[in-house]
């Protein structure tokens, strides 16, 4: 009998709640909490089995701790904002409860993210006898596990990894983001960075791009960005020489983003307006569509995967492993678009593996540190089938 506390009731939180509810033999009791109780109650109304809801401020460790003690969960799944990772981890330390998230910590007042803040919790989690699983979404998450799977089953040595992420869906808005606008825009406008020959190389934002032919979608222009899984894969895939992350954007999206940058709307520092201080990016977030509202009319597909090169059976080999997810099918199942779906399903699976003992440890871990096989087996059973093929 396992009780899970899900913190965050956005698009991903809704998917996690739906998918946990589909596995009652593992998740026997579900509590969904957010700063906005109405969001939790809306999700609860969509789910056929009973779940509980609660209000909590995820920035407030004392408030989190009180809720955790009231609920007594076996696991906390954090799908709140990345700003709130550390306050939730602090509450887990205080209460002795296991932790899982889908995105690494970043400070609210600085457009920067890295795993060090959370890796620094390793000794405290280990001494407390609890487990923290970091980055168990799709990218990061499934893409990391794809690499571990490739190393275990196909390659004696992995030399290069290119993570490719394409959203070819259409939502009908001139400009919108598929997850929290503030986090999304900070990520896209940051300098690019990739790992090569033991060092990190920076690039101007979206300055490096190339065309890739995505299965079931076709050729799309993709842009080099920095993404957190590069950092953990560089640490955990032995001998890897280069790791890059690529994401596609339409020209319409890039044009809107360029204009918003030029007029200062993507700034994260406060500005004075009519006697008040406002953060332009936070104001822009209030004007843009809520990502969860995009789901109903979303059409098209996503394709996310890894192009891996290395040594296979003593010879150079190139391999592609990927998932295709359909926005409309995701909405029919869990009232969400594919971006939320591809993040929420892996979070549920990671939680399942922790609760059933398939993945266990004391301390803080990234997903590629565990056996990929049980996770890979669960993916198609819960809505994310994968395809692998050798390219040469």
Kindly report, residue by residue over 81-112, the tens digit of the pLDDT.
898 999 999 999 999 999 999 999 988 777 67
- Please say whether the beta carbons of 44 and 32 come within 8 A: yes
**Section 22-47 average pLDDT:** 97
- Please say whether the beta carbons of 352 and 23 come within 8 A: yes
Q: Is residue 348 part of a domain?
A: no
- Please say whether the beta carbons of 34 and 55 come within 8 A: yes
pLDDT band at 381 (very low <50, low <70, confident <90, very high): very high
Q: Are residues 128 and 260 in the same domain?
A: no
pLDDT band at 217 (very low <50, low <70, confident <90, very high): very high
Q: Are residues 86 and 114 in the same domain?
A: yes
Burial class (CB in 10 A: 0-12, 13-18, 19+), 144: buried
Q: Are residues 288 and 316 in the same domain?
A: yes
Question: Residue 269 is part of a domain; what is its CATH number?
Answer: 3.30.360.10
Residue spans of alpha helices (H) in 74-206: 85-95, 116-119, 122-128, 142-153, 181-189
What dihedral angle (degrees, nearest 10) is formed by the CA atoms of 90, 184, 139, 46? 80
Q: Are residues 207 and 116 in the same domain?
A: no
pLDDT for 238-255, tens place per residue?
999 999 999 998 888 877
Q: What is the pLDDT of residue 97?
A: 98
Burial class (CB in 10 A: 0-12, 13-18, 19+), 24: exposed
Q: What is the pLDDT of residue 111?
A: 65
Q: Which of 134, 154, 189 is the last residue of a domain?
A: 134
- Please say whether the beta carbons of 161 and 154 come within 8 A: no
Q: Is residue 116 part of a domain?
A: yes
- Retrieve residue 243's tokens: 């790791």
Helix (H, G, I), strand (E, B) or coil at 196: strand
Q: Which of 134, 154, 178 is the last residue of a domain?
A: 134
The region of weakest confidence among 12-26, 235-249, 259-273, 364-378 is 259-273
Q: Are residues 258 and 329 in the same domain?
A: yes
Domain coverage including residue 113: 2-134
- Please say whether the beta carbons of 325 and 341 come within 8 A: yes
Q: Are residues 188 and 100 in the same domain?
A: no
- Retrieve residue 350's tokens: 């990671």
Q: Is residue 96 part of a domain?
A: yes
Q: Are residues 210 and 307 in the same domain?
A: yes
Percent of the chain at pLDDT exceeding 90: 77
**Section 349-374 average pLDDT:** 98
Q: What is the pLDDT of residue 163?
A: 98
Q: Is residue 354 part of a domain?
A: no
- Retrieve residue 305's tokens: 């995967």
Q: What is the pLDDT of residue 256?
A: 77
Q: How far is CA 30 from the centre of its chain?
A: 21
Q: What is the pLDDT of residue 281?
A: 78
pLDDT for 116-137, tens place per residue?
999 999 999 999 999 999 999 9
Q: Which residue has the higher pLDDT, 210 or 292?
A: 210
Q: Is residue 307 part of a domain?
A: yes
**Section 27-51 average pLDDT:** 97
Q: What is the pLDDT of residue 367?
A: 98
Q: Are residues 37 and 155 in the same domain?
A: no
- Please say whether the beta carbons of 90 and 55 come within 8 A: no
Say how far apart CA 85 and CA 313 lie, in whole Å.
42
Residue 53's H or E segment, with its range, is: strand 52-55
Q: Is residue 119 part of a domain?
A: yes
Q: Are residues 224 and 329 in the same domain?
A: yes
Q: With 70 as the cut, is the pLDDT of residue 178 above it?
A: no
Q: What is the pLDDT of residue 46?
A: 97
Question: How many independent structural domains does the chain possess?
Answer: 2
Q: With 90 as the cut, is the pLDDT of residue 162 above it?
A: yes
Q: With 80 as the cut, is the pLDDT of residue 191 above it?
A: yes
Question: Residue 75 is part of a domain; what is its CATH number?
Answer: 3.40.50.720
Say how far apart CA 167 and CA 90 lie, in whole Å.
35
Q: Structure pTM?
A: 0.93
Give the pairing type, strands 98-101 and 209-214.
Answer: unpaired
Q: Which of 65, 99, 134 is the last residue of a domain?
A: 134
Q: Name 228's Cβ contacts closer than 8 Å, sequence gap at least 6.
A: 103, 104, 113, 114, 115, 135, 140
Q: Are residues 194 and 84 in the same domain?
A: no
Q: Is residue 363 part of a domain?
A: no
Q: Is residue 149 part of a domain?
A: yes
Q: Are residues 146 and 185 in the same domain?
A: yes
Which DSSP state fits 35?
S
**Section 176-199 average pLDDT:** 82
pLDDT for 219-238, tens place per residue?
999 999 999 999 999 999 99
Q: With 70 as the cut, is the pLDDT of residue 56 above it?
A: yes
Q: Are residues 113 and 173 in the same domain?
A: no
């Amino acid at each position: 009998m396992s009780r899970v506390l899900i913190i965050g009731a956005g698009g991903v939180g809704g998917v996690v709640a739906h998918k946990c509810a589909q596995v009652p033999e593992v998740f026997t009791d579900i509590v969904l909490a957010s700063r906005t109780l109405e969001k939790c109650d809306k999700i609860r109304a969509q789910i056929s089995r009973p779940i509980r809801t609660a209000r909590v401020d995820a920035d407030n460790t004392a408030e989190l701790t009180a809720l955790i003690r009231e609920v007594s969960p076996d696991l906390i799944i954090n799908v709140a904002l990345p700003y709130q990772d550390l306050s939730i981890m602090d509450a887990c330390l205080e209460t002795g409860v296991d932790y899982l998230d889908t995105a690494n910590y970043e400070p609210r007042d600085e457009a920067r993210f890295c795993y060090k803040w959370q890796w620094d919790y390793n000794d405290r989690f280990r001494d407390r006898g609890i487990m923290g699983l970091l980055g168990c979404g799709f990218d990061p998450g499934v893409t990391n596990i794809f690499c571990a799977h490739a190393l275990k089953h196909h390659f004696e040595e992995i030399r290069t990894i290119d993570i490719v992420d394409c959203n070819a869906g259409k939502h009908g808005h001139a400009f919108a983001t598929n997850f929290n606008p503030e986090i999304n825009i900070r990520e896209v406008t940051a300098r690019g960075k990739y790992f090569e020959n033991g060092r990190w190389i920076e690039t101007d934002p979206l300055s490096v791009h190339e065309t890739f032919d995505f299965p079931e979608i076709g050729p799309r222009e993709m842009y080099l960005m920095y993404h957190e899984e590069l950092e953990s894969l560089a640490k955990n895939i032995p001998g890897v020489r280069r790791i890059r992350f690529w994401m596609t954007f339409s020209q319409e999206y890039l044009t809107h983003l360029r204009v918003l940058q030029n007029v200062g709307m993507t700034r994260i520092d406060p500005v004075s307006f009519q006697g008040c201080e406002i953060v332009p990016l936070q104001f822009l977030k209030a004007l843009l569509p809520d990502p969860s509202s995009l789901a109903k009319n979303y059409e098209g597909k996503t394709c996310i995967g890894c192009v891996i090169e290395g040594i296979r059976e003593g010879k150079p080999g190139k391999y592609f492993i990927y998932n295709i997810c359909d926005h409309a099918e995701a909405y029919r199942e869990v009232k969400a678009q594919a971006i939320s779906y591809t993040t929420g399903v892996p979070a549920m699976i990671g939680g399942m593996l922790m609760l059933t003992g398939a993945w266990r440890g004391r301390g803080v871990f990234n997903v590629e540190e565990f056996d990929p096989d049980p996770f890979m087996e669960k993916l198609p059973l819960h809505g994310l089938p994968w395809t692998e093929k050798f390219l040469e």
